[in-house]
Structure 1
Amino acid sequence: MVDQQSDAEQRIVSVRDVAALARVSPTTVSNVLSGNRPVATATQDRVRHAIEELGYRPNLSARNLRLRRAGLIALAVPEIDVPYFAELVRLIVQAARRRGYTVLIDQTEGDAEAERFVLGGMNPGMVDGILFSPLGTDRAEFEQRRNRTPLVLLGERITGRGIDHVGIDNVAAAAAATRHLAEQGRRRIAALGHRTESGTAALRSQGYRQALDQAGLPYDEDLVVITHGYHRTNGAMAVRQLLQQGDPPDALFCYNDLLALGALRALHDAGLRVPEDVAVVGFDDIDDGRYSIPTLSTIAPDKAGIAEASLDLLLARIAGPGAEPSQLTVPYTLEVRESSRPL
């Protein structure tokens, strides 16, 4: 004989059930689920505990039909296999799931046409909003955007007009990394990853120069290496280029951790010790850097903060598109590890 479920087990848990257990209103439960209105942290904790205890699952199909939404958001990044983006994607997917949304992931590879498709809203009606980390799109295209699909930029802000943005202060972060190296007594600090065009690299170059000026160190163009990519091989090639010079650097500020990991390998191959001969600092705080030999000093953006803030902005824009655009700056820390430890 097949066991029959009890009436309590068969009954569908409702928002009202969650509200009663959490001692809040059904509206508060809805706000916690949607992220459309701010809710005190302690209240959010009570609601999420009640959801877990009751096994509540929101009826997303009914909600989306009622609100005329797809229940999907898109996340467009240049390269999914780059560790920084992989880690950020995981955090965004988790944060979106907590808010009742599914994430569609698109890899643009920095291609202008692929990014233009994202900027145009992708297929009309397919997604409710887009989180976008652009690479190949210029300022004019953002300013000319006419599509009404809600959009939040991640990373560096390309235009200050009409578009929400979440990122860190790249100038200050790069200056902090360079200042740290100067404070260790390094006098020939190279920069790996410079780009002549505007964007993240240009801002990190600006911070690098600011810190040199503050430390009373000259700016030497021979120590600033333009790379054609931000992968390990580009970092290794940049170091080999620097070591061919008559007066090599005693420190490296790398514009991302992959460049730094490639640099570590090239320094090892050249018989140079890190940090004794050359100190190294990266940027992004990817997990690989905690397990390299030596472990990698790095600028650590608050990736979880980026995920949460960008989704809050996007969902607010979906709920009420008339609000003024926001430019949010999340914190960062300088994580000093073995590659730049004081001698």
Structure 2
Amino acid sequence: MSINTSKAASISEVAAHAGVSIATVSRVLNSTKPVNADTRERVETAVAALGYRTNALARSLTRGESKLLLLLVPDFANPFYSEIIKGVESVIRKAGYSLVLGGAPDTLSRDSQALDTLYNRLADGVISLAHYHDLQPLLREMPGLPWVSCSEFIPDSDVPHASIDHQQAAVDAVQYLINRGHERIALLSADENYLWARQRHLGYEVAMQRAGIAIDPQLVRIARGTDYVFGMEAAGALLAQKNAPTALFAVSDTLAIGAIKAFRRAGLRVPEDIAVVGFDNVPLSQVFEPALTTIAQPMHELGAAAAQLLLERLAGGTPTSRTLQHTLVVRESA
């Protein structure tokens, strides 16, 4: 069979050609773990057939460092993550590092360039905003990789993280609505595979229970995503209820803004007919009409803190996780 070698093959292509995992190819190339003779021969044959050449920089990493850090981002379109990226960059640039961005969980796909970067040892460490369970296979394959989490984290883990107290922040948001006289308070949540979404949902329940307000299951909606359109979609379902809510707590600003658009299309005034509180304080929240009442996460500071934690790990330290302060920002929507 004729192989096209007009462009450099990636480690994932070598793995597919040999019928093995990327981790196995890495073990053969870097001699990090024993590999049986048959498997080694298949990998070496694939390397020769594809003309794969390991980067000279990768070979030198046992003696030095690449000055590259990988940041795993679940959704590049979400402005929340954009602000965190800026915070990360503000710290690592001063330390002489550059940033490589990888989408998660796509990073685990066989043709992922970001995954190549890790298996070739071209990244010194990782900052992850991704769902932990999506990344468990990677952590098992590379247990020695310096790793920190940001916003989304693993409770009681030895992986240091920078985050806020998501549950208490949600309690503060819902309590504000209760203090304004609302009892029919809806919750618009997101994918609860994420810890932050589960904790914000729990905060909603805690605030309602403390106030002695029964939770109507019909007023709890899980959006199919965090984009604006999913907020519109879920808000429409809430409006279909016979006894509609007088207030809404959304677990992200994007969902809250989408919901407001749906409410206004239905002829409702915000906040006169229904009050809305979001979460994150993304830049759009203060220029949107009506300006959004929201929980402000210190997004830039979260990114900077995560970067500082990773740099400390790379220097051989054992950094302690950091919980940053949130703030309730009252504007026009509630």
Do the aligned residues in 1 keep the contact of 2:245 with 2:274 (CA within 8 Å)?
A: yes
What corresponds to 2:256 in structure 1? 260
3-state secondary structure, aligned to 1:88:
helix
Pair 253,224 (structure 1): closer, same or farther in 2 beyond 3 Å: same
Mapped partners of 2:175, 2:160: distance in 1: 31
Do the aligned residues in 2 keep the contact of 1:142 with 1:159 (CA within 8 Å)?
A: no
Do the aligned residues in 1 keep the contact of 2:172 with 2:328 (CA within 8 Å)?
A: yes
Residue from 289, 296, 303 that aligns with 1:300: 296
What corresponds to 1:47 in structure 2? none
The C-alpha deviation readout for 1:76-99, integer Å capped at 9, x for no partner, is 101112111111112211221122
1:285 counterpart = 2:281:
yes
CA positional deviation for 1:112: 7.7
Pair 262,198 (structure 1): closer, same or farther in 2 beyond 3 Å: closer
3-state secondary structure, aligned to 2:93:
helix
RMSD after superposition = 2.7
Aligned length: 275
The one-letter amino acid paired with 2:94 is: R
Do the aligned residues in 2 keep the contact of 1:187 with 1:217 (CA within 8 Å)?
A: yes
3-state secondary structure, aligned to 1:339:
coil
The C-alpha deviation readout for 1:146-165, integer Å capped at 9, x for no partner, is 43121101112235222111
**Identity of matched residues, %:** 34
What corresponds to 1:276 in structure 2? 272
CA positional deviation for 1:67: 7.2
Residue from 175, 180, 185 that aligns with 1:184: 180
What corresponds to 2:41 in structure 1? none
The C-alpha deviation readout for 1:116-168, integer Å capped at 9, x for no partner, is x8799823320111111113625965884643121101112235222111111
Residue from 82, 85, 108 that aligns with 1:113: 108
Q: TM-score, normalised by structure 2?
A: 0.75
Q: TM-score, normalised by structure 1?
A: 0.74
The C-alpha deviation readout for 1:16-52, integer Å capped at 9, x for no partner, is xxxxxxxxxxxxxxxxxxxxxxxxxxxxxxxxxxxxx
3-state secondary structure, aligned to 1:228:
coil
Residue from 73, 78, 94 that aligns with 2:74: 78
1:334 counterpart = 2:328:
yes
What corresponds to 1:25 in structure 2? none
What corresponds to 1:94 in structure 2? 90
CA positional deviation for 1:253: 0.4
What corresponds to 2:212 in structure 1? 216
| Structure 1: 4+ residue segments shifted above 6 A | 64-67, 117-121
Of residues 123-132 and 177-186 in structure 1, the stretch that sits farther from structure 2 once superposed is 123-132
Do the aligned residues in 1 keep the contact of 2:108 with 2:115 (CA within 8 Å)?
A: no
Listed as ranges, the gaps of 5+ residues in structure 2 are 1-56
